[in-house]
Amino acid sequence: MWWFIKKQLDDTDGVVYSYGYESREQTGKICYNRKEDKCDVLIGADNDSNPLRVCPYVRRVILNENAPVERQIATG
């Protein structure tokens, strides 16, 4: 499985990404709260039956790669 994320907002409070599940089409939205170190799915992407599974990967990309503008995440 894979996700494609694109940054929508990045400020001192957090980061918002739109994302697509196994597609570059952006139909979902994820928010990472820096103060609480918490990731939440605001809108699940089309065909993503379990949108919460992307959160740990997005968190890792934000913290380890300094919140890139866009990124493809592949697992499995």
Structure tokens at 76: 């499995």
Q: How far apart are the first and last CA of the chain?
A: 6
At position 65, the amino acid (one-letter code) is E
Strands of the 28-33 sheet, one edge to the other: 38-43, 28-33, 14-21, 2-10, 70-74
- Residue 26 has what pLDDT? 98
Q: Is the pTM of this model over 0.85?
A: yes
Comparing CA positions, the residue from 36, 73, 35, 76 lying closest to residue 56 is 73
Extents of the domains making up the chain = 2-74
In a structure prediction context, what are the per-residue pLDDT tens digits for the chain, which is 76 residues long? 999 999 999 999 999 999 999 999 999 999 999 999 999 999 999 999 999 999 999 999 999 999 999 999 999 8
Give me 31's structure tokens.
Answer: 């928010």
User: What pLDDT shows up at residue 46?
Assistant: 97
pLDDT for 76: 83
